Chain A
Amino acid sequence: MASANDSKWQKDAADQNFDYMFKLLIIGNSSVGKTSFLFRYADDSFTSAFVSTVGIDFKVKTVFRQDKRVKLQIWDTAGQERYPTITTAYYRGAMGFLLMYDITNEESFNAVQDWCTQIKTYSWDNAQVVLVGNKCDLEDERVVSTERGKQLADQLGLEFFETSAKENINVKAVFERLVDIICDKMSESLDADPTLVNNTTKSTRLTENPNMNSSGCSC
């Protein structure tokens, strides 16, 4: 699998012509279409055949957003429960998550909450998440209404998209939105706390309201 595209990915990987590198992770139940989604986005290809992802895989793609070239390393994870330790190990490096469910599969929708908890548990706390309802081309088989998707997204404080990897609906939009969100977060975080960047300066800072946390003074 890796060998087939070896030279291609290595070219991608070695490409240094970019400004930022974001690591993204696609998660969600098995067979919601994570791999298809990624293939559509990265290679613009689609196949209906279902091949379960083994553990993990990733693709690299560089996009141009907000005058910056952003290299994306997009991790595709196995939705199956077989590989929990493998997949969760990758949560920590991810700046953004695509939490995906299948609009024709109630169970996958019900699992969103759990996946969210997983993210909270294993990722850095400033990781950004978007909720994605995939397979919106299968309108006839739909069991999760757009409304419910939106509602859940609001409830979880996430942005929401319905997509189709097959029909190439909203695929690019999701990634671009997620990149934008992370970019915004980036500027925010630096402005919010420039001390972080400048922790090398020797000056003692006199801050007005450092919230002293008053625990842990045991003797």
Chain B
Amino acid sequence: MGEFVSSGGVDRWVCPNDRQLSLRAKLGTGWSVHTNRGGSFGRPDQLSLEEQEQILGVIGRAEYLEGVEQERIGRLVDKLDNMKKNAIGNGNSQCVLCGDEFKLLGASPTYCDDCAKAVCSKCGVDTFNCNRQPLWLCKICAETREVWKRSGAWFFKGIPKYILPEKKAESGKYPVRMRPSPRGSIKGRPAPGAGGVSRDSYTWHKARGSASTASYGESSDQESSESSEEDFPMGKVKAKKSVDSGNPASSPKSDNISIGSSASRNAPHGNHQTYTRAESKTSITSATYMGGQLSATESSRGDDLHDETDSERSSTYAFSREGSTRSVGKASLGTEEELDNIDMAINRYVKASHAVDEEQLSSPDSEGTSLGLLEFSLLYDSVNNALHCTITRAKGLKAMDSNGLSDPYVKLHLLPGANKSTKLRTKTIHKTLNPEWNESLTYYGITEEDMIRKTLRLSVLDEDAFGFDFIGEFRLPLKRIKPHQTKNFSVYLEKQLPMEKDDDLIQIRGKLLLSLRYATAKQTLFVRVMRCAELAAMDSNGYSDPYVKVYLKPDKDKKSKYKTMVKKRTLNPEFNEEFQYEIRHNELAKKTLEITVWDKDIGRTNDFIGGVQLGINSKGERLKHWFDTLKNPDREYRRWHVLSAELTPEVYT
């Protein structure tokens, strides 16, 4: 690959991107081809102009349909949101919806089968599940199910993209998003046109921090008045939205106006857009939406889609050409680019119709040098307390090595408290600026509180024979991730930010996943030590050699003591070892289960890492776990517990 690199700056020779390479691989023509004469070697499946037209026509129709559909889903979601907002009860002593108190006399509560909250008979719905068994749902859950069915969320395992009704007024800004920022595309993009994705995200120069006040630029003057007043804390827009009343009737018009104006305004403002946050949901739809509006006006004029669209389309699709021509230099607008257009349009469509959220952010590339684009997706599983991070790929990474390439890998950290225990990393992909990792890394023991408090730091590093070079990083507050919804990100990397010293880090000793079950038949308590996470490092190598001790106290002759195996050199050990205590149920209630985690040191006293006590005198999560186990025998309860550095003295001896 080196041969391409050395000549990267010369017009006639361009480093081919991955897509080109894979195309060529299919053609069997080898690599040594003048890229700027890409069309000359006779692609067997060239699409004729007519065919492209046709396909683009179909895509146009599809986008229109998608736009209509997203508005419909938007209305459904909006209705549901309103419903939730209007619920005033606590779901405990009051009906969760209407807030009626449940008294000793009078209406008795029923509990919703989905959310388990108390509902009065007026606010519940009697229905059946698929096996014709009766189902009692509060109106919110009934409506939620309905929305899941109607929107297709049941299929995609998450609400598909939608456009909230009030949002319409803002959508005028979306077209802006599609304009390429010439600056961005010329600079720091060694692999020009690396697929539709990166192109789509050109313009989004995100001003971190100031992201809250969205400045939309001139293109959407008429909207900015209402929208810019709003403060968008990341990820919370939806809830707030419904207050301002856009006028849906007139909005299509204003959309078109702004399309026009954004087109006429020829973009080389370095940093225009500053609209970040979970807008993604809607911002991705932008393309679709606009497509929709285009065709809508088209037909209302009664024109032929083919002829008429051309001018419009050029504004829609031209940017891809612009993008690629600029960066490739003199590359002819051969078939490659045209194919790209189609690919891109498809890409855009597919993305728009994709169920999962996508988020695209770009960083202020203040020095004008892009560090690269990172694509990844996150899924938080709140049932198993697992955070799945899928690192997909990076594009256009900054070259760190003398050969003009890098050997990139991605390292993940959870902040605050970055240390080896929260570190995960991908494999290294050698000699590339566009690595594809497609690797899934999982954090276990991530509680919902962690999701609110912590930030995921993704750093892209260049592996060297000795150590590494830092390419760039991105930090994502985890509170922006909704449970059970895969969220895709495509972000520009930023420069290394200073690590803040974290004081409460010292206190954190780690976490333990524990499973408890009391078997009545055997009169036995089963204690399963499953795994630990984020243990404190006790050894100088930055790791520990952890093992776990289990006691059931009080216990005079230490008969109750069990130990797990020692796991070498890890801060996230998995034990999965089960211990049994044969004990009568009423006896058990008087006992305290003490679990301690130790670092095995050979020839020295073992270091105490942390421990947890479960008993009738413990508190919070620990008490609940213990209580549940006792109260519901023969059921297994699993919970994560935070290890504390000190245990109650009389037990800890």
Binding site for B on A (CB under 8 A): 1-3, 6-7, 9-10, 13-14, 16, 19-22, 54-58, 60, 73, 81-83, 85-86, 89-90, 92-93, 95, 124, 126, 184-191, 194-210, 212-219
Chain B residues near A219: list those with CB within 8 A: 420-421, 423-424, 543, 570-572
Query: Would you give the shortest CB distance from A52 to chain B, in whole angstroms?
Result: 10
Contacting A at CB under 8 A, from B210-240, are none
User: A126 vs B156: C-alpha distance in the bound complex, in angstroms?
Assistant: 9
Chain B residues near A210: list those with CB within 8 A: 383-384, 638
Contacting A at CB under 8 A, from B109-156, are 113-116, 129-131, 135, 141, 144-145, 148-150, 152, 154-156
User: A208 vs B296: C-alpha distance in the bound complex, in angstroms?
Assistant: 52
Q: With A13-B64, A85-B346 given, can you name 4 additional A-B contacts, CB distance below 8 Å?
A: A56-B55, A58-B58, A195-B383, A219-B423
Q: Let me know if A3 and B306 touch, CB within 8 A.
A: yes
Selected from B64, B115, B149, B485, the residue in CB contact (under 8 A) with A201 is: B115
User: A216 vs B533: C-alpha distance in the bound complex, in angstroms?
Assistant: 12
Q: Let me know if B628 and A16 touch, CB within 8 A.
A: no
Binding site for A on B (CB under 8 A): 45, 47, 51, 54-55, 57-58, 60-62, 64-65, 68-69, 72, 113-116, 129-131, 135, 141, 144-145, 148-150, 152, 154-157, 295-296, 299, 304-306, 342-343, 346-347, 349-350, 353-355, 382-384, 386, 420-421, 423-425, 440-442, 444, 447-448, 482-485, 513, 530-531, 533, 543, 570-572, 574, 576, 628, 635-639
Q: Let me know if B54 and A209 touch, CB within 8 A.
A: no
- Known A14-B68, A186-B155; contact A54-B305, beta-carbon cutoff 8 A: no
Selected from B58, B382, B424, the residue in CB contact (under 8 A) with A199 is: B382
For A56, the closest partner residue in chain B by CB is B58
Chain B residues near A214: list those with CB within 8 A: 531, 574, 576
User: A55 vs B58: C-alpha distance in the bound complex, in angstroms?
Assistant: 9
Q: Let me know if A2 and B305 touch, CB within 8 A.
A: yes
Q: Let me know if A202 and B346 touch, CB within 8 A.
A: no
User: A7 vs B300: C-alpha distance in the bound complex, in angstroms?
Assistant: 9
For B628, the closest partner residue in chain A by CB is A206
Chain A residues near B383: list those with CB within 8 A: 195, 205, 207, 210
Q: Let me know if A212 and B543 touch, CB within 8 A.
A: no
Query: Would you give the shortest CB distance from B417 to chain A, in whole angstroms?
Result: 14
20 contacts between A and B (CB under 8 A): A1-B57, A2-B54, A10-B295, A13-B61, A13-B68, A22-B152, A58-B61, A89-B350, A92-B354, A124-B155, A124-B355, A190-B145, A194-B141, A199-B484, A202-B448, A206-B639, A212-B386, A212-B530, A214-B576, A216-B441
Chain B residues near A206: list those with CB within 8 A: 628, 637-639
Q: Let me know if A7 and B61 touch, CB within 8 A.
A: no
Selected from B155, B343, B442, B638, the residue in CB contact (under 8 A) with A85 is: B343
Q: Let me know if B130 and A21 touch, CB within 8 A.
A: no
Q: Let me know if B141 and A198 touch, CB within 8 A.
A: yes
Selected from A82, A194, A217, the residue in CB contact (under 8 A) with B572 is: A217
Chain A residues near B636: list those with CB within 8 A: 208-209
User: A81 vs B384: C-alpha distance in the bound complex, in angstroms?
Assistant: 43
User: A195 vs B381: C-alpha distance in the bound complex, in angstroms?
Assistant: 11
User: A184 vs B638: C-alpha distance in the bound complex, in angstroms?
Assistant: 33
Main secondary structure of the interface of B (DSSP, over half): mixed
Chain A residues near B425: list those with CB within 8 A: 218
User: A90 vs B351: C-alpha distance in the bound complex, in angstroms?
Assistant: 10
Q: Let me know if B51 and A55 touch, CB within 8 A.
A: yes
For B640, the closest partner residue in chain A by CB is A204
Query: Would you give the shortest CB distance from A168 to chain B, in whole angstroms?
Result: 26
Q: Let me know if A2 and B60 touch, CB within 8 A.
A: yes
Query: Would you give the shortest CB distance from A149 to chain B, in whole angstroms?
Result: 27
Chain B residues near A58: list those with CB within 8 A: 58, 61-62
User: A188 vs B628: C-alpha distance in the bound complex, in angstroms?
Assistant: 30
Chain B residues near A188: list those with CB within 8 A: 130
- Known A54-B54, A206-B638, A219-B570; contact A197-B576, beta-carbon cutoff 8 A: no
Q: Let me know if A21 and B148 touch, CB within 8 A.
A: no
Chain B residues near A56: list those with CB within 8 A: 55, 58
- Known A2-B60, A57-B58; contact A189-B154, beta-carbon cutoff 8 A: yes
User: A184 vs B483: C-alpha distance in the bound complex, in angstroms?
Assistant: 26
Chain B residues near A187: list those with CB within 8 A: 129-130
Chain A residues near B353: list those with CB within 8 A: 93
8 nearest CB pairs, A to B: A2-B57, A216-B442, A187-B130, A191-B129, A55-B55, A199-B484, A199-B483, A82-B45
For B636, the closest partner residue in chain A by CB is A208
- Known A197-B114, A197-B148, A218-B441; contact A204-B483, beta-carbon cutoff 8 A: no
Query: Would you give the shortest CB distance from B320 to chain A, in whole angstroms?
Result: 16
Q: Let me know if B69 and A21 touch, CB within 8 A.
A: yes
User: A76 vs B1: C-alpha distance in the bound complex, in angstroms?
Assistant: 40
Q: Let me know if A20 and B58 touch, CB within 8 A.
A: no
Query: Would you give the shortest CB distance from B380 to chain A, in whole angstroms?
Result: 9
For B440, the closest partner residue in chain A by CB is A216
Q: Let me know if B58 and A2 touch, CB within 8 A.
A: yes
Chain A residues near B628: list those with CB within 8 A: 206
User: A199 vs B114: C-alpha distance in the bound complex, in angstroms?
Assistant: 10
User: A209 vs B635: C-alpha distance in the bound complex, in angstroms?
Assistant: 10
Selected from B65, B295, B350, B574, the residue in CB contact (under 8 A) with A92 is: B350
Query: Would you give the shortest CB distance from B593 to chain A, in whole angstroms?
Result: 17
For A211, the closest partner residue in chain B by CB is B384
User: A92 vs B156: C-alpha distance in the bound complex, in angstroms?
Assistant: 9
Query: Would you give the shortest CB distance from A70 to chain B, in whole angstroms?
Result: 11
Selected from B68, B116, B149, B571, the residue in CB contact (under 8 A) with A16 is: B68
Q: Let me know if B571 and A3 touch, CB within 8 A.
A: no
User: A129 vs B386: C-alpha distance in the bound complex, in angstroms?
Assistant: 32
Query: Would you give the shortest CB distance from B31 to chain A, in whole angstroms?
Result: 21
Selected from A9, A89, A92, A208, the residue in CB contact (under 8 A) with B61 is: A9
Q: Let me know if A20 and B57 touch, CB within 8 A.
A: no
Q: Let me know if A194 and B421 touch, CB within 8 A.
A: no
